[in-house]
Structure 1
Amino acid sequence: MPAEPSRQSASTTPDAELAAEQAHLDRARAELARMREHTLSLQADGGDAIAGESLARTLWLRARALQDDPRTTLFFGRLDTDTPERLYIGRRHVSDDAGDPVVIDWRAGVSTAFYRAGPAEPMGVLRRRRFGVEAGRLTAYEDELLEAGGSGTSGESGGEILAREIERPRIGPMRDIVATIQPEQDEIVRADVATTICVQGAPGTGKTAVGLHRAAWLLYAFRERLSRTGVLVVGPNRAFLEHVGAVLPSLGEVSVRHATLEELLGSVPVRAQDDPHVARLKGEARMAEVLERVVWSHVRPATEPLVVPRGAHRWRVPAYAVQDILDELRSRGVRYAAARAMLAQRLAHAVLVVMESAGDSPDDRVQDAVARSAPVRAYVKSVWPELTPAAMVASLLSTGEGLEEDQRAMVWDRPRTPRTARWTTADLALLDEAADLIERTPSLGHVVLDEAQDLSPMQLRAVGRRAATGSLTVLGDIAQGTTPWSTGSWEESLQHLGKPLGREEVHLEVLDRGFRVPASVIDYAARLLPEMAPGLGAPRSVRSHPGRLEVTRVQDPVPGTVDAARELSALEGSLGVIVPDAWVGRVGAALAAAGVEHEVLDGSHAEERILPVHLVPATVAKGLEFDQVVVTEPAAIAAAEPDRRTGLRRLYVVLTRAVSGLTVVHADDLPGPLAGAGKTG
């Protein structure tokens, strides 16, 4: 058994050492305030209006990043090395007026040792200190003595302060995990900007937080590059994005864009919903080939010569010569609109060649004039018409032309125009694919894609093209796939994203150590895995406390849910009441009648108040976490899905939202794998 590092803890009673550390924190806060005041005092004089506005925004973002949060501390750890210098590790860099560091940003290279040093590989660290925090004050500290040459295993130590921080109750949005990042998580966070990483993460392994911290680290390490190209976080719904939206600002990053997939691809309003079978067809990768054929089928053969009157002459380019130009442009691999823009100049050049062969000496100005002339523009329109994505996809779904026999189910029951079409979510990916075939989609520097297992091949292609020249952090759990098209393998998903496994810069990582979900809860939910995701390994909880699990059968699950919620709402932290979607109204009314104040998370937004009790439809629960969770009628949650496997996966998702305790309230029999399992208090 490897030896643990020597650990020393201070009590919560103030002593001289703790008072000295608090004094350093007070000094750091004063220096941060000075840095912010200095930034606010700077004048945005960029030399002209545009440069001045850009500089003003830069200064505003800088000042916002330097805001102090009195609920937290500016540092959470300290490293003592074999030099006299002590390194305080925190959420952002703080320096004194001479430029010397008071707090070192956790993303700096020297901070890596805080997360990875251990007795087997101390990385020059003699002592690692973690601080206990309450309401922005230091209440305790705990030391790990990492003696060089020791036989401990790096990363397996932690101590009580680390455990308390991981398990600490919370209300409101997701917190950063910067004080508790584990070695295997840190490896992912600090991967190079050119590396695309796919993280298969079981519930409670912190995969979402790891992805967000990776975005923050990339912006720190490659700020100049990514400030130009941009960073985007894509999440499953607006409630989820609001839940995680506080993480990056808490780390000093405020310029990252957040979007749901519908918002990202929202070129038209969604006004209808597809049948699951039709949605699956629209999401298949072969639709990309159909759309490509349809786009390029609009290029018509040249059957007539191009005739351009100019002065006393009528210059003629034969049809076969025009066809050669069309064939050459189609073979160049450029987008439809780009090739169309080239066509006018290519035709004008062909006219100039005819002029020169007749003895004229036209120059570039003549070629430009010919390219803009009415005959050339009319000819271009006749052989290479303008296209819009909406018109093209509407035509495809109205006529079915180009579709295979089994795809005919996608065709609308009557012809529709882009204006009258009732577009669906699955149509957005078709429209985006068509738009990219016509004009290239700009690429960002980095995209973080969460809950990626739920995206169809066409949706994955849409996200992937936004990182065509950048990189991706892909986060998900195959066991939590709850859409009809959810992926069966990350190899397949990465292929659709344009980042296939096998490339040196594409890595697949597995996180299976659960830090947020207690053992009793994860073991209970894992009983579903053999039936819903055979072959996928069960996660393991490393929490010191096994948590609370209660499975209660009642006559009526609605009052049973209210009773459980009333009791649990008295505990510290947040409470999620997760119910079948169709039950939200009934349960919400019952909670209100019982005086249990709550807010509803409907997937599009959360109410402005931050309350400890949240009523959550089962289909919105993915990615959210609560200290205590009540799950109402598991059988109804599973039965609401189109098939048994998807129903069990949905149930697996809702059962793994609890950080401290889970109460299952049911009247109907539990789904088979859960029957008779783990009824503990």
Structure 2
Amino acid sequence: MSVPEQEWQWEQRRVDDVVGQIRRRAAELEAQIGDVRADVVELRRNFWDEVTINLSSLDDLVETHFSIRQQAEVLADRERMHQQGARELKTLRKLADSPYFGRIDFQENGSPRPESIYIGIASFKADDDTFLIYDWRAPIASLYYDHTPGPVSYEAPAGTMEGTMSLKRQFVIHDGTIRLMFDASVTIGDELLMEVLSRHADVHMRNIVATIQKEQNRIIRHDRGRLLVVQGAAGSGKTSAALQRVAYLLYKYRKTLTADEMLLFSPNPLFSSYVSTVLPELGEENMRQATFHEYLVHRLGRLFEVENPFDQLEYVLTQSGAPEHAVRLAAIRYKGSTAFLRLIRAYQEFLLLQGMQFRPVRLEDRVIVSAEEIKRQFYQPGAPRRMPERLEWLRDWLLKQVSAFAEREWQAEWVEREVEALDPADYRKAYQQMRQSPFAGDADDYDRQREILARMVLRRYLRPVRARIKRFQFVNPTALYRRLFQDPSFAKRLAGADGLPAEWPEICELTLKYLDQRTLPYEDATPYLYLKELVQGVHMNTTVRHVLVDEAQDYSPFQLEFLKRLFPRARMTLLGDLNQTISPYGGALGNQEDLLQLYGPQETDVIRLTRSYRSTREIVEFTRGMVPGGEAIVPFERTGDRPQVVQARDRTSLHRGIVEAVEHLKRCGCQSIAIICKTAAESREAHEALGPGLGATLVDAFTPEFAPGILILPSYLAKGVEFDGVVVYDASEDAYHTEGDRYLLYTVCTRAMHHLWIGCLGTPSRFILDQPDTTYRLRQAGE
């Protein structure tokens, strides 16, 4: 609904007044930051001048310690003030450009008149402490996202607030000037959403606080249970909403929650870069980000070469003719299942009775305790019944054996040789220790000093031995994992009613082959680490309180169970789209029973997003026909050109057609264009042929961030991001014909915001031709 000119002028005058106050506040803050910055520089320059150093006695040493600590605390306090001021100044500058995007007039029941609430990315108060702008995360701001004018209510810390909303107004403000304004009778007016969605894609994700939809607001403000599952269609805003959810939680629990206590598992490092600006734009610090593979390498990289998921997928997509391909696919599916998880748990119970594998405790070439001795002690009658307690009991016994070894060994010849090699400082230290002994002079000084030096040598040599024992490194997890595959019938007994895949003997042979090469396939990494923790002690992170997993459909049920175990205090948010499943695991989100078992039905909520905002109506109508149940995906009413499907008779004409398509997209105003290939190998070939002429950048798994312009990349690295125009390199029947290919092609095509051009080297894929011919335009290259 348009706003009368007089009202428009009044709103602009208010903007001018608010922006003026913001700029004055920013100028004051900038001066304060300058003073603090000067203090920091001065403190750093004169740090040691302010510290009194006196090491002549123990008391003086303590005084010196506290002097240094006090000066360091002063410096740290000033640096925190500077960082906080810099963040606030950055927010004020954003507010000066666009102070707010929404207004609601709300009259609480019992109040004499309505109050105008203006909503922006952050709060701002006038000098008299009245709110000129409310933060979009404030409880009252939920009225803007969730309600239309009329009777409304919202949840506040004091309880449910009820009243009447008489007005909902939306703004687009740039450079302190209202560019667009209208009154809306729906959650977020289509005019505002259209204006935002019509913009060009960027190398970083934008925040969506001005256009949050009601269903997205449910995700953002969801605050109960241990597990929130968001299943959303491509382009439905699930990732954006999840990042706003992080900002909301940091705002709501700002006294008890920090960004360091939140962790996002990204699908790849490129995605981490893509979303890295969302929280800072909202004035919040970035949370921690990692890929699951990075965590696995952190834990296992010293033992194995750990395969990354992209190499696993590249193998699945490109090696279908390999003799072991079918066996490896079966291994990937089974090793990601909860059935394999149960088998490993049964294996742990078995190991309490027999079969544990140990490493001997050594001091270089000397065996202190043999593996057989450790095993006998582990299975002693009366040993603790549970694995953690038994291992701690065994650890304490081993430490005593090391002490006994040291007592026996201090007079050995090798120790004497090491004593002779000590430097003079060690001799002085031994002499001082001897002089301070209450028994000094009771024995030969020379013999006493030699004993002290000998024990000093042993302590140094045995220190790493004791450290390995304390870390339970006397357990041999690699031997234990191998044991599962050395005898196929052994695992069959452990599996019980779950059974094993028909290919199990071949899976065993393939697994042992990789282990012999000290290579850990991606599908083995999580089960190996899980078994390692069961027998060496569980590694838990109790500081992280919120975990978000993006592209969760590509995680196995086993991996999700492992994450739950790794972060026992954390609440978890899983984001995914079953139609974008590209992992050979089959997707954990597809099994509702597995999801509910993670934390239980009472602690689990599932929110489904079916409306797609990223792509034009024509692109959505074309792509939704590729996947089962796609008719439930609702396109946003933003129109454009139908997708173009172009058949080429050979690779030369295909490349010529791609060059013409890219030039056309550039003329249409596309600023980000992606040429998406199926695999990394195909991407390299395409870049070699097209890159120099187009000035295109090749993207691989090691590319740190997206660059503007024309990119050539494999399908799996395009997940989660969007481009103005997408060129599918080759979507022929030869390239995309399996059921797994169906979802891969859907994922590739749904990256396009405004334009989609699909090349085909020969007959187009059945997943294209099965669509109504009214949803795309088919032509020959050169037409």
Question: The TM-score by the shorter chain falls in which range?
Answer: 0.7 to 0.9
Of residues 279, 287, 291, the one that matches 2:344 is: 291
Q: What is the letter of the counterpart of residue 545 of structure 2?
A: G
User: 2-side partners of 1:588 and 1:24: how far apart?
Assistant: 51
Contact 2:343 2:491 in 1 (8 A): yes
Q: Does residue 1:585 correspond to 2:684, yes or no?
A: yes
SS in 2 for 1:648: helix
Q: Structure 1 residues 636 and 233, CA, compared in 2 at 3 Å: closer, same or farther?
A: farther
Q: Specify whether residues 195 and 328 from structure 1 end up closer, same or farther in structure 2 by C-alpha distance, changes over 3 A only.
A: closer
Contact 2:229 2:606 in 1 (8 A): yes
Equivalent residue letter for 1:645: E
SS of the counterpart of 2:270?
A: helix
- Structure 2 residue 115 is matched with structure 1 residue 75: no
Q: CA deviation at 1:421?
A: 0.9
| Structure 2 contact 120–134 (Cα < 8 Å) conserved | yes
Pick from 710, 729, 742 the counterpart of residue 648 of structure 1: 742
Shift of 1:486: 2.0
Partner Cα separation in structure 1 for residue 264 and residue 202 of structure 2: 23
Equivalent residues of 2:151, 2:165 under 8 A apart: no
Q: Aligned residue for 1:25?
A: 19
User: What's the counterpart of residue 496 of structure 2?
Assistant: none
What displacement does 1:666 show? 1.9
Query: Is residue 262 of structure 1 aligned with residue 262 of structure 2?
Result: no
Report the residue type matching 1:635 in the other structure: S
Once the two structures are superposed, the pairs formed by residues 431-580 of structure 1 within 5 Å of their partners are 431-437=528-534, 438-443=537-542, 444-487=544-587, 489-495=590-596, 498-500=598-600, 502-503=601-602, 505-530=603-628, 535=629, 537-546=631-640, 548-555=642-649, 556-570=653-667, 571-580=669-678
Does 2:475 align with 1:387? Answer: yes
SS of structure 2 residue aligned to 1:213: helix
Aligned residues: 606
- Structure 1 residues 337 and 662, CA, compared in 2 at 3 Å: closer, same or farther? farther
Give the 3-state SS of the residue equivalent to 1:8 in structure 2: coil
Matches of 2:572 and 2:338, distance apart in 1: 20
Cα deviation, 1:438-492, whole Å, max 9, x if unaligned, reads 2242242111111111111222122222443221111111111112212362524
2:333 is aligned with 1:280 = yes
Could you say if the C-alpha distance between residues 520 and 410 of structure 1 is closer, same or farther in structure 2, counting changes exceeding 3 Å?
same
Q: Distance in 2 between matches of 1:49 and 1:188?
A: 45
For residue 174 of structure 1, report the CA deviation from its aligned partner.
1.0
| Counterpart-to-counterpart distance in 1, 2:75 and 2:574 | 35
Corresponding residue to 1:92 among 97, 122, 140: 122
User: In 1, distance between residues paired with 2:611 and 2:510?
Assistant: 50
Q: CA deviation at 1:7?
A: 4.3
- Residue 182 of structure 2 corresponds to 143
1:58 & 1:656 partners in 2: Cα distance? 43
Partner of 2:524: 427
**1:4-403 alignment, distance < 5 Å:** 6-8=1-3, 17-32=11-26, 34-35=28-29, 38=32, 48=70, 59=81, 62-63=84-85, 65-66=87-88, 67-68=90-91, 73-82=98-107, 83=113, 85-96=115-126, 99-123=129-153, 124-134=164-174, 136-144=175-183, 155=187, 158-192=189-223, 194-227=225-258, 230-266=261-297, 267-269=299-301, 270-272=305-307, 275-295=328-348, 297-299=350-352, 325-330=382-387, 386-387=474-475, 389=477, 392-393=480-481, 396=484, 402-403=490-491
Taking structure 1 as the reference length, the TM-score comes to: 0.77
Alpha carbons 1:618, 1:637 under 8 Å: kept: no
- CA gap of 1:667–1:335, structure 2 versus 1, over 3 A, is farther
Change (3 A) 1:671 1:420: closer
CA deviations 1:327-374 (Å, max 9, x no partner) are: 4445xxx57756756889999xxxxxxxxxxxxxxxxxxxxxxxxxx9
Q: Structure 1 pair 592/329, CA: closer, same or farther in 2 (3 Å)? A: closer
In structure 1, distance between residues paired with 2:607 and 2:552? 14
More helix by share: 2
Deviations 1:404-425 (A, max 9, x none): 3654444466968989611222
Residues 551-578 of structure 1: CA distance to partner in whole angstroms, max 9, x if unpaired? 2223332221121112212314422221
> What corresponds to 2:358 in structure 1?
none
**Is the 8 Å Cα contact of residues 528 and 674 (structure 1) preserved in structure 2?**
yes
Structure 1 residues 96 and 674, CA gap change in structure 2 (3 angstroms): same
Q: Distance in 1 between matches of 2:78 and 2:189?
A: 44
Cα distance in structure 1, aligned partners of 2:671 and 2:141: 31
Residue identity over aligned pairs, in percent, reads 23
Residue 659 of structure 1: aligned partner: 753
**AA partner of residue 326 (structure 1):** A
Structure 1 residues 439, 57: closer, same or farther in 2, change over 3 A?
Answer: farther
**Relative to 1, partners in 2 of residues 1:14 and 1:387: Cα closer, same or farther, differing over 3 Å?**
same
Q: CA 1:320/1:593 → structure 2, altered by over 3 Å: closer, same or farther?
A: closer
Q: Which moved more, 1:136-145 or 1:337-346?
A: 337-346
Q: Determine the C-alpha separation between the residues in 1 that align with 2:615 and 2:555.
A: 25
In the alignment, residue 575 of structure 1 is paired with which amino acid?
I
Q: TM-score, normalised by structure 2?
A: 0.68
Which residue in 1 is equivalent to 2:699? 601
State the 1:245 CA deviation.
1.8
Deviation at 1:121, TM superposition (A): 4.1
CA contact (8 A) 1:174 1:246 kept: yes
Q: 1:300 to 1:564 in 2, by over 3 A?
A: same
Q: Check the 8 A contact 1:638/1:648 in 2, yes or no.
A: no
- After TM superposition, the structure 1 stretch with the greater mean CA deviation from structure 2, 459-468 or 15-24, is 15-24
**Compared CA separation, residues 75 and 650, structure 1 to 2 (3 A):** same
Deviations 1:20-59 (A, max 9, x none): 4144234325435645765675689997588668756754
Shift of 1:185: 0.9
Q: Which residue of structure 1 aligns with residue 713 of structure 2? A: 616
Distance 1:633 1:417 in 2: 33
Describe the shift of the 1:544–1:121 C-alpha distance in structure 2 as closer, same or farther (beyond 3 A).
farther
- Distance (whole Å) between structure 2 residues aligned to residue 631 and residue 417 of structure 1: 35
Looking at structure 2, the residues matched to 490 and 30 of structure 1 have their Cα atoms a distance apart, in angstroms, of 56
Q: For 1:654 and 1:403, locate their aligned partners in 2 and report how far apart those are by CA, in whole Å.
A: 40
Tell me the amino acid that sits aligned with residue 287 of structure 2. V
Structure 1: how far apart are the matches of 2:276 and 2:331?
33
Between 1:477-486 and 1:387-396, the stretch displaced more is 387-396
1:624 is paired with a residue of what secondary structure?
A: coil
CA–CA distance in 2 between the matches of 1:133 and 1:391?
Answer: 65
User: How far apart, in 1, do the equivalents of 2:13 and 2:29 lie?
Assistant: 24
Q: Indicate the structure (1 or 2) with the bigger Cα radius of gyration.
A: 2
Change (3 A) 1:87 1:225: same
Q: In structure 2, the residue corresponding to 1:634 is in which secondary structure? A: coil
**CA distance change for structure 1 residues 36 and 345 in 2, over 3 Å: closer, same or farther?**
farther
